Structure 1
Amino acid sequence: MASRFLRTLFCATTAWVVMQPVAHAADELGQQVGTELEAAQSALAAHNYAKAMDAVNAADAVKGKTDYEDYTIAQMRAAVATQAGNLSAATAAYDKLIASPRTPQAMKNQMLKSEATMAYTAKDYPKAVANIQRYLKAAGSDPQMETLLAQSYYLQKDYPNTIKVVKQQAGAAIKAGKTPTESELQMLAASATALKDSAATTHAYVLLATYYPKKEYWALLLHELVVNTKIPASLQLDVYRIRLAVGDVSQARDFMDMTEIAVQQNTPQLALDLMNQGYQSGVLGQGAEAPRQARLKAMIEKAVASKKASIAADEQAAASASNGDDLLTVGYNYVTFGQADKGLQLMQQAISKGVSDVNIARLHLGLAELYAGHKDQALAALRSVEGDNGAHDIAQLWILRVTQPSGAK
């Protein structure tokens, strides 16, 4: 993945032979050293690396060399060793140049970068990691080298550090209003999958579906939501609902399951709406299970009527409760009964009062706003969902569902 910019980094290497270090009054090459280095440069230009290195060694063997001659020999050794792919010799030469006060800081940084990229190309990933970290400490942030650092960890199967680096890099890009690269996010997903970290895998696919809305990412993402054991029971209905919204529910048992969960959560109108979608799609009302499904629907219709009759009393009881959990449910029921303004106001009051999980509450507020047809308010609520229990990822999927063209999913 890094080959393109690796070539870019290497192309400047031989230029160091002619770069000027910090000059001193007595800086000049003696005839013997100068002759050998000219021979080395000619051989290097002809890609005869063995001959070039022999000439460098001959120059180095000259007795009584000046500091400037030592420095220039190290420059040529670094150039020859780099092009020859001799990692140890190049690193030793660069380290000598980096330690010299003759080398300007900009050149030192470039040499540190080349040490790192050479180690990566040589597949010495532990050394690449050490060299990249050394470079970043000296030169500061560099997105290309940070990507190379993540790749170096990944290729060693050091998945925790891969995730750490990619998360930092992707987060910085997003904060700056930029798009994380697809290859980085793929690496994040692959690392999380290798660690069997369902929450991290889901988060990675959310990012991929957000910035690269391909059908395969949606499919993988929905699969991760289904198998994610860290998602609490209180979010299982929400998993079903986003699956339903993107056309990923086609089995009668799924419609029955989500309907029963909605009843258990004391939202009978939502349960009836979900069941009606099952009938409208032709999934329910067919085969041997049709009578059972009809009985459940009749029961839910009675529950809806009962809830409409009791909702004022439910509101009064919820208002006097110690937290806002019941008031949140009452508000949601008002929304589903067609009293959106009253219901949404109660839900906001519930969140202000304090709820068991504010992020799940914000998610449900966003869904209630969607139910009421308030797209902008729904997006604002969904974007406020945080946390790592799955609510944030489900909210992000709804944001994608609302904002992306239908053909992207």
Structure 2
Amino acid sequence: MNFTKRAMNVGVRSFLLALPVVAAQIVVSQTALGPVVSGIAEAQAQDAQPKQEQETRRTPALRNKVYEKLAEAQAAAEAKDLATAASVLDAMLAGRRDNELNSYELANVYNLYAFIHYSNEDYTSALQSYENVIKQPDIPLAMEINTRFTVAQLYFVQERWEQGIDALQKWFQMTDTPNATAYVLLAQGYYQLKDYNEALKNINIAIDDFDSKGKIPKEQWYNLQRFLYAELNMVDEATGTLRQLITFYPKKQYWVQLSFMYSEQNKEARQLGAMETAYVQDMLEKDGEYRNMASLFLNAEVPYKAAVVLKEGLAEDIVQDNSKNWELLAGALRQAQEVADAIPAMEKAASMSDDGDLYARLGNIYLDADQNEKAIEAITKGLDRGGVKRPDNARLVLGMAYFNTDQYAKARDAFRAAGRDERSKKYADQWIKYMNSELERQKSLAADAD
């Protein structure tokens, strides 16, 4: 695994598999139908229609004296005088004789009680009141449907996921036209129970429903879908969802995640393209993101662009001013044949390092630039300081620098020292042989001149 994939695996996979936004905002809202509250979550369930095969219910009438009391309680509730609203309802139920309130009237009383409890954030009592609404016989079918949807929502608010799913399934059984929001809510419940297959099935239904109507699915829905695909190792599908997110909600995080997904598929060119798109749109803003971008360019053998990214990051104080990053910049510049610019970068990297390895590498760059005296100085300093990873290589370069400055005895000593390491023995012997032949050639030329 290359540097870029390792870095992104550490930094991005946890980000990719984290669910940053819940899939469905569980919001219970109050909707007044005329002067009497008839159901919560009407806004969420308004597209649902009763199953047509169910026969029409004969609902008892709402009598005028009951209507007036309910209107009084509702007015107090809307004025946020919840205590007065509750006292009116309490009086309606206190000491009542059997059948004094019919089922529809009782349903509206409990419905308004539920609103009061919900407003006080007493979700348990609100839920019980809504359950009492459902228990009443012969209430309007639309009222029962809307109330069942709200019951499901309240279970979710209390993180009672299994009961919420059961309540929502009962709601589904009562309607022919469940809306996308209901499927999202169901998907959220299954997600919480880690039943990712069922969660995925339902979030896909919601997204497909919006797609079929030419509507753009919500960002949170795509995020849940993307998370579930990733958890189920459906890499191609997760990638497709990220492309949808980028199309409708173009944010940096999705370009970075898409780049990671392409790396998982070993599609290096697309991985680079996704990350570069984020870069050119000025979306990258962190040290790791700039270094990942530079590493992708290096892996794609485009070192000059890698150097541009690193220089920009260092100049803008995004990339950290440390030895490792200056070393990365120097390496990119050297690969790009920008040796003159690589030298000051590696000088800075070496000066910030605690060991001698970077001085040895600086000596290599000096040698490339034909600055042999500086090469000798840098490599000697590195070897004296210690910590050089390949001292044999450093001594080979030192020998070359001595040879280029006609310091043949020192060059021979350096080559012999390098040759004590089996990894460099062959090259050291070749250099000594070459130097000997060069000395013989020079001796012969001198003799002929005499």
TM-score by length of 1: 0.49
User: Which has the larger helix fraction?
Assistant: 1
Indicate the structure (1 or 2) with the bigger Cα radius of gyration.
2
Which of 1 and 2 has higher RCO (CA within 8 Å, sep 6+)? 2
TM-score by length of 2: 0.45
